[in-house]
Structure formats: C-alpha cells, structure tokens
Amino acid sequence: MSAAHGDHPKFLQHHFHSAEQQASASKLGMWLFLAQEVLFFGGIFVAYGVLRFLYPETFLAAHAYLDVKMGAINTVILITSSLTMALGVRAAQTNNQKQTVLMLALTILFACGFLVVKYFEYSHKIHVGLVTARSFSATGIAGSPHIFFSLYFAMTGLHGLHVLVGIIVLAWILMRARRGDFSSAYFTPVENAGLYWHLVDLIWIFLFPLLYLVK
Amino acid sequence: MSAHAHDSSEPHVLPLKIYFQVYGALLVLTGATVGVSLLDLGPNAIYIAMLVAVIKAGFVVGYFMHLRYDTRFLSLVFFGSLIFLVIFFAFTFIDLTSRDRIDQNQANFTLRKHQDIQEESTGSVTVGIKRFRSGANPPVLPKAPEVKKAPKPAAGTAAGTGAAAGTGAAAGTGAAAGTGAAAGTGTAAGTGADPGTGTGAGTSEPAGGGTAAGTGSVAGSASAAPGSGSAAPAAKAKAPAKKAPAKKAPAKKAH
C-alpha cells in the first residue's frame, strides 16, 4: 500500500485506477453539471417564451428601454473572455504555466468588466423605476412592462450570479496555477472551470438577442 | 506507473489558429445579430436571431468546450439535456397554442385579458402598480428610442390567437432548437414566413399530426442546413427533425 502510494502522481486520487480514468470521470461529472445548468436555465427560457407569446406588444415596447450598445459590449466582453479561457486551458495543456496564469487573469478581468457594465445598466434601471414587483414605478410604457422587466432581472440576474461564481472559481484556479499545480499531465480543474465559463458565455449568447433585440 | 500514465495521456491540443478563427467567427456573428435587428424583418427577426445564436453556440460548444473532439458520451449527456428542454418547450407551446381547439372560451379568455391590458392602460395592472407606488413623484422616464416596427398590426389581433400561435410556437422552436444545433432553426427560419399567413385554424392540429407526418421530408432539408454545428451525434439530429414538422405543416395546410 505504502509502496503504491509513493508511486502515485500527487494529483491522482486513491480511488482511481489511472490519471486518465480520473480525468474522464471528472469531466463527465462536469458535463452532467452543465446539463443540469441547461435545464435550470431552461425553465426561465420557457417562461420567457410563454410570456412573449402572450404579450408581444409589451415586449416590443419595453425592450426599447434596454441599452443595446451596453448589451453588445458585454457580448463582446464575454466572447473575448471565452477565448482567453480556452487559451488558458491550452496553455495548461502545453505546460506553459506563465501563460496559463496570464490567460486566467485576463478572463477574470473580462468577467469583472462584464459585471461593471451590468452594474451601470442595473443602476440606471433602478433609478428610473424599471425594477421588479412593488418597486416598479415607471409609467408610459405600453402594455404590462413590469412583466418584461421581471423577466429581464430574473434572467440577467441569474446569469450575473453565474458570472460572479465564475470569478470566484477562476480566482481559485488562478491561485493553484500560480502554485504550479497544473501540467500537461494534470489540468482537469482548469479544463472544468473553463467548461463552466463557456456555458456562462453560451447562455448570454441567447439572452442578448432575446432581451435586447426584440422585434 | 506515473511516467507511463504521463506518456499515454498526452492531451489533445488544438492549434492556436482554430481558437482565433472561432473567436473571429463569434465576433462577426455578434455583429450580424445586431445588424439584422436593425433591419425591418418583423416577426421573422427572432428566427434569424436564434439561428445566429445557435450557430454561435455551436462554435463555443464544439471548439472552445472541445466537445467535437471528446468522447461521444459527453455529447450524449449535453444534447440529452437539450432534448428534454425541447420537450419542455414543445409541450408547453402545444398547450398554449391549441387550447382554443378544445375550448373556445379558454382562447377567448387569453385574448380578452391581453386586449384589456393593451387597450385600457389604466386597467387592473396599472392600477396595481399605482397602488404600490410610494406617493412621491414617479421618476421621469427617458424617451425610449421609438419603436420602429408597429406592434403586430390590427390584423394580428383580429386573426387572434391563431396568428400569434404561429409565431409563438416558432419562438419555442427557435429557442429550443438553440439546443439542437444549426439544423433545427435552419428550417424554422425557412418556414418562418409562412405561419403568419397560415393563421388561425390550422395551428394545433398539425402539431399533433405533423409530428409523425412531416418528419421525413423536413429532416431532409434540415440536414442540408447545419454544417456549422458541432459534434452532431444522432441525438442532435433527432431533436430538430422532431420540431420542424410542427412548423412546416401549418404552411401546407394554409394552401
């Protein structure tokens, strides 16, 4: 037993046969989690579909109060962060520790940028009363705009929460990368954090046209 | 053992070029989405927007997330969840768009409630908002950029749930197909033009009948569209094919 112990690479858990088995098990777990995320967000997308079907005019009128420019900027920011994330994983795969750290740091930076833009959008909306439920005090929009804005805040809020969690996870991975935990033999945590981050990007790819570009 | 494992588990590394190409494609497609939204495409815009979103998603999943090169089992897990999302969408919208065929009152109820809100802007909803207001002067809203497209014109309301049904169901398809890959929405976009005219009568029936009927022919055209999609396992191809006929059928029916 103790002999076997000495033989293990440091990252290999005892209950796995080999590094490949550990990596593939871990990745499968991550994809199962992503599948769950799809269904988790799916509910609110269906709600969007139903409400847009029932109140097309409201959606058309209310979406004009969202700032397309900010939405587009955020889309570009997230796509760019997805690129840096993918490059970070690649750097880990190729034993390029310095670049891994750099790319992870850039990804976190873009994620923060996304939240900053979102902050300006939110604070403006709160200022003019386009908030959910009882605080909704804006007037002059045709239809039932509070429905649209409840959805807007629920969808982007849930997504924003994912961005926030992503920042925390990536910061942890960044710290481990700096410590030298990863190599071409072991980069699963970088890869899985990347998968999560790409999903966050993926969801925004759908949110952006659905909320900002209603026609 | 450790050295051995190391040798046999060389990671699959994509060339740098691919990442930048995918990034470029994503940026171009983002521009396209915004550009298309400026055109006056009316209710068809959502199909195009969703088609573009699906293609973008395909790039992200296939290359950034590496799914194209991973074991098919991971594709099964991911697209499996998308199939259930499609089911979620499909049945919700079949219900939403076909109630009037079972009970006319239900359809009327939905329609009337909607019109009430539209017509009397002082209706129950607005009153409700007023009641909650804290009394202070409501903040003044900035002028919204004028809405270019007149909301579904009179005809839309007159045609009633039917007309809306066409679009609504499609919206479901679009978003859900988002899941499926380029294939699904490709067809949705193609047929998108029709349902508007297809209208009232035929909406719900084809949803049921069409599913079985149209699969073959539609699947054919669908498979021409994808190209861009990622791993494309059997599961993926299945989802769009199932959806498409529901859209296609009403158009035929209208003839």
User: Residue B36: inside a domain, yes or no?
Assistant: yes
Percent of chain B with pLDDT over 90: 27
pLDDT in tens, A100-117: 999 999 999 999 999 999
Contact indicator for B179, B212 with CB cutoff of 8 Å = no
Q: Which domain holds residue A94?
A: 32-212
Q: What is the pLDDT of residue A134?
A: 66
Share of chain A above pLDDT 70, in %: 93
Q: Burial, B173: exposed, middle or buried (Cβ in 10 Å; 0-12, 13-18, 19+)?
A: buried
In angstroms, the separation between the Cα of residue B108 and the nearest Cα of chain A is 12
Q: Can you tell me the distance from the alpha carbon of B52 to that of A213, in angstroms, rounded to the nearest whole number?
A: 13
DSSP A200: H
Locate B243 and state its tokens.
């959806």
Q: pTM for the whole thing?
A: 0.68
Is residue A5, in this structure, part of any structural domain at all? no
Q: Is residue B126 in some structural domain?
A: no
Q: Which positions in chain B touch A79 (Cβ < 8 Å)? A: 23, 26-27, 30
Q: What are phi and psi of B163, to 5 degrees?
A: -60, -50
What is the CATH number for A189?
1.20.120.80
For residue A25, being part of any structural domain is answered with no
CA distance A211 to A207: 6
Q: What is the mean pLDDT of residues A39-62?
A: 92
In the block, residue with structure tokens 């959008």: A121
| Residue B61 DSSP one-character state | I
From the list A19, A32, A53, the residue facing B77 with the nearest CB is A32
A74 contacts on B by Cβ (under 8 Å): none
Does A49 reside within a domain?
A: yes
Q: Residue A23 domain-assigned? A: no
| Tokens of residue B246, six digits | 């529901």
pLDDT at residue A140 tops 50:
yes
Question: Does a structural domain hold residue A174?
Answer: yes
> Alpha-carbon distance B116 to B96, whole Å?
19
B122: in domain: no
At B42, the pLDDT band (50, 70, 90 cuts) reads confident
Cβ atoms within 10 Å, residue A72: 18
Beta bridge partners of A186: A183
What are the Cα distances from residue A115, in Å, to A112, A126, A171, B6?
5, 16, 15, 40
B136 within some domain: no
Distance from CA of B236 to the nearest CA of A (A): 14
- Is A194 within a domain? yes
Flag if B13 and A90 touch (Cβ within 8 Å).
yes
pLDDT band at B197 (very low <50, low <70, confident <90, very high): very low
What is the band of B233 on the pLDDT scale with cuts at 50, 70, 90? very low
Is residue A214 within 8 A of residue A68, CB to CB? The reply is no
Answer yes or no: is A155 within a domain.
yes
| Closest C-alpha among B62, B31, B172 to residue A208 | B31
Report which of B57, B52, B56, B55 is spatially closest to residue B78, judged by C-alpha positions.
B57
User: Is the separation of the CB atoms in B178 and B50 below 8 Å?
Assistant: yes
Residue A183 β-bridge partners:
A186
Question: Which of B129, B133, B152, B167 to mutate against chain A (most A CBs within 10 Å)?
Answer: B129
Across A91-95, A127-131, A134-138, which has the greatest mean pLDDT? A91-95
For residue B77, tell me if it sits in a domain: yes
CA B10 to chain centre: 39
Does some domain include residue A208?
A: yes
Give the model's pLDDT for residue B65.
Answer: 95
Return the structure tokens found at B30: 């983002």
**Domain tally, chain B:** 1
How many independent structural domains does chain A possess?
1
Q: For B161-185, what is each residue's pLDDT tens digit?
A: 333 333 333 333 333 333 333 333 3
**Contact criterion met (CB below 8 Å) for A170 and A197:** yes
Helix, strand, coil fractions of chain B, as percent rounded to 5 = 75, 0, 25
B119-145 pLDDT per residue, tens:
444 444 443 333 333 333 444 555 555
Q: Which residues contact A141 (CB under 8 A, 6 or more apart)?
A: A58, A61, A62, A65, B141, B144
Q: Where are the beta strands (DSSP E) in B83-169?
A: none
Q: Is residue B202 part of a domain?
A: yes
Is the separation of the CB atoms in A155 and A207 below 8 Å? yes
A contact residues 45-74, partner B, Cβ 8 Å cutoff: 45-46, 48-50, 52-58, 60-61, 64-65, 68, 72
Rounded Cα distance between A88 and A193, Å, is 11
**pLDDT confidence of residue B231:** 38
Instruction: Give the pLDDT confidence score for residue A6 in this predicted structure.
Output: 56
- Say yes or no for a CB contact (<8 Å) between B74 and A31: yes
Burial of residue B45 (CB within 10 Å: 0-12, 13-18, 19+) is: buried
The more confidently predicted of residues B110 and B12 is B12
**Are B144 and A141 a contacting pair at CB < 8 A?**
yes
Is residue B74 a part of any domain in this protein?
yes
Residue located via tokens 């509910």 = A43
Does residue B229 belong to any structural domain of this protein?
A: yes
